[in-house]
Amino acid sequence: QVQLQESGPGLVKPSETLSLTCTVSGASITSYYWTWIRQPPGRELEYIGYIYYSGSPNYNPSLKSRVTISMDTSRNQFSLKLTSVTAADTGVYYCARAARGLDVWGKGTTVTVSS
């Protein structure tokens, strides 16, 4: 059974960098696309970007200047970095498998941007 688990700080100060990791079990991260999605409070889901081990990551243009998604095949993990955060980046962050279909999701982790 494939499982994904997000981890990282729940509180980030404005202007700093948000860093999250998704640990994958039950599947090799070299075999699928992997995605980050977020959900601001009371708002719809927003696609952040996805990565495949043999290609370049693909980022939502609305966040492209601040986002980096990377992969650590030795740990079967992939990560998200979002720089220069503001309160608008507060929300629940999810990692998921696949790009077009999102068939397996992590439970999500809440990140609050506040001083």
Partner 1 sequence: DVVMTQSPLSLPVTLGQPASISCRSGQSLVYSDGNTYLNWFHQRPGQSPRRLIYKVSTRDSGVPDRFSGSGSGTDFTLKISRVEAEDVGVYYCMQGTHWPFSFGQGTKLEIK
CB nearer to partner 1: give 16 or 104.
104
The residue among 16 and 58 lying less far from partner 1, judged by its C-beta, is 58
CB of 11 to partner 1, least distance (A): 20
Nearer to partner 1, 72 or 103 (CB): 103
Cβ contacts of 92 within 8 Å, gap of 6 or more? 38, 39, 108, 109, 110, 111
Contacts of 107 (CB under 8 A, 6+ apart): 5, 6
Q: How far is the CB of 90 from partner 1 (least distance, A)?
A: 17
> Measured from the CB of residue 93, what is the shortest distance to partner 1 in angstroms?
11
Distance from C-alpha of 6 to C-alpha of 109, rounded to nearest angstrom: 6
Sheet of 67-72: strands edge to edge? 3-7, 18-25, 77-82, 67-72
The CB-of-48 to partner 1 minimum distance in angstroms stands at: 9
The contact set with partner 1 (CB under 8 A) reads 44-47, 58, 60-62, 94, 99-103, 105-108
